């Protein structure tokens, strides 16, 4: 194709009307819109969805097997346009990526969302009038206006609260609109009219990865005096605060934790904690530092209010509104234990009734300080949906052999046989009698190198190390080899363990040292998940899809990077080592460039505050014990601005520990739905999560029929891809 022909092609794809490209578009109602929304307006993104939805009378149905990406609604042919010629049709088929990825915003997307008038928050007769300026209010959606009212009502009553909307519903924008009213931007010209009533500036705590996003949103939505307390200019920022020349201070969790004495000495008007679920642990340094903030106007923003335990609710709300849930022991006895016991598969009816009553009581209290909306109840009718698939990947033969050898290690056998009656003749189980220690075990001897007699919780001190090793085998055999970044003694221990579990396959996997062989690391033959991924990527890239590929392990990301290079995919990478000033540019490039096919992302570094709506396929390579982290990763794509159906694939090693991890995810999600939303959840599991008990990692006792009942009653699907994947069955 010639250069001129390519330019004509791009012009055809980038135009939404028949007007010449050089002619500017004039707004339909210039008198009503003295000020246009910014390019990053969420209202603009929503209007794109509306335009896409209105241009199509139906959405393509999804087959039961691996579904192709639905055609964007904008591509439906119009009745008043002549059908394309065969030559045009051939040319159209030859450029699928450009056609699928370059969709300019319709003219309607540049218009305001609502009337150009202020959103009055103060009560009639109150002075001064507190309001959101019209330049912001005209761009808010209905649910966002409700969120602003909720935050202001708490503020007016000298309380804090939690805005717990689903990820991607605009919590940041609702907060900025709320702050515009509190600081006094109601005249719409940027001057503050409420400074006399404020006792100090506003403090915003957030993850490092979203500091730049907060800065950008403040500059787009209103004229605030904003500074970032992060890096070498901290003293200059403190000077601006002392001179009352600052309205909003943004800092990261790590910086606040280190400099908490300085920052807690400042009189803040209010504090906003983004990703407030980070306050789940009352023993963490961050939680302790946040307790030193003197203001009672404490607000939290999070889409995952509860992640692992019901007690996390108490920790969060006891910081936001101290004492609203009583003291810690009361909460544990009155809510935590009854809710967990009532969710057991064999729970007596009276336990279930008590749990139901306590659940309703807890939800009624939380409702006063918590506002939570989901995508389904706000913008679900405008989005094309999300499909969650659980893919059980058959491990390779060598992975299976290594996995079995790991289970046969003497120190892990103690855990497996912990309930077996002791061979000494005692009626006690061996874990309480003669089999608490195993000096011949590689991991046990390393953990107790300074305490040969064992520790107080032996052998359950071995649980976490073995869980890590078993999951590493499920993902890739290279991961159980020594990490050169570890201390020398740990490397020796890992090499000894690797030699024991590799056994006769040691030459096949390249020995016990870290491999530098590019061809060996990029080969999917001995990794079940990579074989599945190879087939999935081949199918999706052929359809013009864009893929997000998440993994928790940086070493696994290194292996996947070599795999993508070998296969010739154009990709970007984002992990904890990516400089903060380069992260947003990577995201923008991936969203903007049709040539970028895969985004390789660290789940810990890239699951918060990153907007990747150009992707419509998400792969979770390795599951987390914390279900919220996997959900946060999925919502990097399934959020405002997404114009395609999103399909999620979670890869699990069939027959491995990862099945237990997934079962635990189900359990935790059910507890969260019960405690936060008051939902009725079907009881699948007999075990009960116990705190302060190292055996809690094995707490789930799920029958085969119960697990299969879950899949039959949920929206998750099993997938089977010929020889690469298998549907793991429990019966």
Q: Within the chain, which residues score under 50 in pLDDT?
A: 1-3, 5-43, 45-46, 49, 53-112, 188-190, 196, 691-731
Amino acid 517: pLDDT:
80
Cα-Cα-Cα-Cα dihedral sign, residues 116, 122, 123, 127: negative
- Enter the DSSP assignment of 162: E
Look at the block and give the residue holding tokens 């939690």.
162
Domain 383-393+527-655+701-718 has CATH 3.40.1350.10: no
Domain with CATH 3.40.50.300 in the chain: 383-393+527-655+701-718
| Helix 142-156 and helix 171-183, axial crossing angle in degrees, nearest 10 | 50
Amino acid 690: pLDDT:
58
Amino acid 609: pLDDT:
67
How far is CA 281 from each of CA 24, 505, 626, 688, rounded to the nearest angstrom? 55, 43, 14, 20
φ, ψ of residue 615 to 5 degrees: the values are -90, 145
Cα radius of gyration rounded to whole Å, the chain: 28
Amino acid 692: pLDDT:
37
Amino acid 592: pLDDT:
92
CB 597 within 8 A of CB 533: no
Look at the block and give the residue holding tokens 């055996």.
695
CB atoms under 10 Å from CB of 612, counted, come to 24
Look at the block and give the residue holding tokens 């740990």.
490
Tell me how long the chain is: 731
- What contacts 453, CB < 8 A, 6 or more positions away? 437
CB 547 within 8 A of CB 618: yes
Ranges of beta strands (E only) in 442-497 are none
CB 312 within 8 A of CB 338: no
Cα-Cα-Cα-Cα dihedral sign, residues 491, 494, 500, 505: negative
Domain with CATH 3.40.50.10810 in the chain: 119-322
The rounded distance, in Å, linking the Cα atoms of 117 and 126 is 19
Amino acid 696: pLDDT:
41
DSSP H helices in 121-163? 134-137, 142-156
Closest CA to 362 of 679, 681, 675: 675
The rounded distance, in Å, linking the Cα atoms of 100 and 51 is 16
CB 52 within 8 A of CB 73: yes
The rounded distance, in Å, linking the Cα atoms of 680 and 177 is 35
Amino acid 322: pLDDT:
94
The rounded distance, in Å, linking the Cα atoms of 703 and 435 is 28
Encoded tokens for 379: 């913008």
Amino acid 44: pLDDT:
52
Its pTM stands at: 0.74
Amino acid 186: pLDDT:
57
Amino acid 326: pLDDT:
93
Instruction: Give me the DSSP letters along 370-427.
Output: EE---HHHHTGGGS--EEEEEEEEPPPHHHHHHHHHHHTSHHHHHHHTTTSBPTTS-S
Amino acid 156: pLDDT:
93
SS (H, E, C) 199-243: CCCEEEEECHHHHHHHHHHHHHHCCCCEEECCCCCHHHHHHHHHC
Closest CA to 15 of 98, 106, 96, 87: 106
- What contacts 383, CB < 8 A, 6 or more positions away? 49, 375, 638, 642
Encoded tokens for 491: 């490397």
CB 652 within 8 A of CB 666: no
Encoded tokens for 295: 């203001």
Burial (CB count within 10 angstroms: exposed 0-12, middle 13-18, buried 19+), residue 560: buried
Encoded tokens for 228: 């970032």
CB 671 within 8 A of CB 684: no
Domain 119-322 has CATH 3.40.50.10810: yes
The rounded distance, in Å, linking the Cα atoms of 64 and 67 is 7
The rounded distance, in Å, linking the Cα atoms of 202 and 236 is 17
Closest CA to 629 of 648, 603, 650, 611: 603
Amino acid 689: pLDDT:
65
Amino acid 532: pLDDT:
94
Amino acid 194: pLDDT:
54
Burial (CB count within 10 angstroms: exposed 0-12, middle 13-18, buried 19+), residue 21: exposed
Amino acid 20: pLDDT:
36
Looking from the CA of 227 toward its CB, the CA atoms found within 13 Å total 18
Amino acid 50: pLDDT:
52
């Amino acid at each position: 194709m010639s250069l001129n022909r390519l330019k004509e092609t791009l012009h055809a794809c980038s135009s939404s009307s028949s007007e010449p490209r050089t002619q500017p578009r004039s707004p339909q109602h210039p008198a009503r819109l003295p000020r246009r929304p910014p390019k990053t307006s969420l209202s603009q993104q929503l209007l794109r969805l509306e335009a896409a939805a209105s241009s199509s009378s139906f959405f393509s149905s999804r087959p039961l097997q691996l579904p192709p990406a639905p055609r964007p609604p904008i591509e439906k042919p119009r009745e008043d346009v002549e059908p394309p010629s065969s030559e045009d049709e051939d040319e159209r088929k030859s450029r699928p990526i450009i056609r699928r990825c370059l969709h300019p915003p319709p003219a309607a997307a540049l218009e305001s969302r609502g009337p150009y008038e202020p959103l009055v928050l103060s009560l009639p007769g109150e002075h001064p009038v507190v309001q959101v300026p019209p330049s912001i209010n005209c761009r808010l959606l209905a649910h966002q206006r409700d969120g602003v009212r909720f935050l202001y009502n708490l503020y007016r009553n000298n309380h804090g609260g939690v805005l717990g909307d689903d990820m991607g519903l605009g919590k940041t924008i609702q907060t900025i609109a709320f702050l515009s009213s509190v600081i006094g931007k109601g005249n719409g010209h940027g001057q503050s009219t409420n400074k006399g009533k404020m006792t100090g500036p506003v403090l915003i705590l957030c993850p490092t990865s979203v500091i730049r996003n907060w800065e950008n949103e403040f500059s787009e939505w209103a004229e605030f005096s904003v500074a970032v307390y992060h890096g070498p200019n901290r003293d200059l920022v403190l000077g601006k605060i002392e001179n009352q020349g600052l309205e909003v201070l943004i800092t990261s969790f790590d910086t606040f934790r280190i400099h908490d004495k300085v920052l807690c000495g400042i009189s803040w008007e209010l504090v906003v904690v983004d990703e407030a679920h980070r306050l789940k642990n009352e023993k963490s340094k961050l939680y302790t530092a946040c307790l030193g903030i003197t203001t009672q106007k404490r607000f939290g923003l999070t889409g995952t209010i509860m992640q692992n335990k019901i007690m996390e609710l108490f920790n969060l709300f006891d910081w936001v509104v101290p004492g609203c849930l009583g003291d810690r022991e009361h909460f544990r006895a009155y809510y935590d234990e009854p809710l967990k016991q009532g969710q057991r598969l064999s729970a007596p009816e009276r336990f279930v009734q008590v749990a139901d009553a306590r659940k309703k009581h807890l939800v009624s209290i939380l409702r006063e300080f918590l506002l939570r909306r989901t995508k389904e109840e706000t913008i679900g009718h405008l989005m094309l949906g999300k499909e969650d698939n659980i893919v059980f990947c058959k491990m390779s033969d060598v992975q299976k052999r290594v996995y079995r050898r790991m289970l046969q290690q003497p120190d892990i056998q103690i855990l497996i046989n912990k309930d077996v009656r002791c061979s000494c003749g005692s009626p006690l189980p061996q874990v309480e009698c003669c089999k608490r220690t195993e000096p011949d075990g590689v991991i046990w001897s390393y953990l107790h190198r300074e305490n040969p007699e064992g520790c107080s919780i032996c052998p359950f001190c071995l649980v976490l190390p073995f869980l890590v090793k078993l999951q590493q085998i499920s993902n890739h055999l290279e991961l159980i080899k020594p990490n050169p970044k570890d201390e020398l003694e740990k490397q020796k221990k890992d090499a000894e363990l690797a030699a024991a579990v590799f056994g006769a396959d040691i030459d096949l996997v390249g020995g016990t040292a870290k491999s530098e062989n590019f061809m060996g690391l990029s080969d999917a033959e001995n990794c079940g998940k990579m074989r599945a991924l190879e087939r999935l990527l081949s199918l999706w890239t052929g359809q013009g899809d864009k893929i997000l590929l998440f993994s928790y392990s940086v070493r696994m990301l290194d292996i996947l990077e070599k795999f993508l290079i070998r296969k010739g995919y154009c990709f970007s990478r984002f992990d904890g080592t990516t400089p903060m000033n380069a992260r947003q540019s990577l995201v923008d490039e991936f969203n903007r460039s049709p040539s970028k096919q895969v985004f390789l992302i660290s789940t810990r570094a890239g699951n918060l505050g990153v907007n990747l709506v150009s992707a419509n396929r998400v792969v979770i390579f390795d599951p987390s014990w914390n279900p919220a982290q996997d959900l946060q990763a999925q919502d990097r794509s399934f959020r405002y601005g997404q114009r395609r159906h999103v399909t999620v694939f979670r890869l699990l090693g069939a027959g491995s520990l990862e099945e237990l991890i997934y079962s635990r995810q189900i359990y935790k999600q059910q507890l969260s739905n019960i405690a936060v939303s008051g939902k009725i959840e079907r009881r699948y599991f007999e075990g009960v999560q116990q705190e302060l008990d190292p055996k809690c990692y094995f707490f789930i006792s799920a029958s085969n029929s119960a697990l299969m009942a879950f899949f039959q009653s949920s929206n998750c699907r099993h997938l089977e891809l010929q020889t690469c994947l298998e549907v793991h069955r429990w019966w």
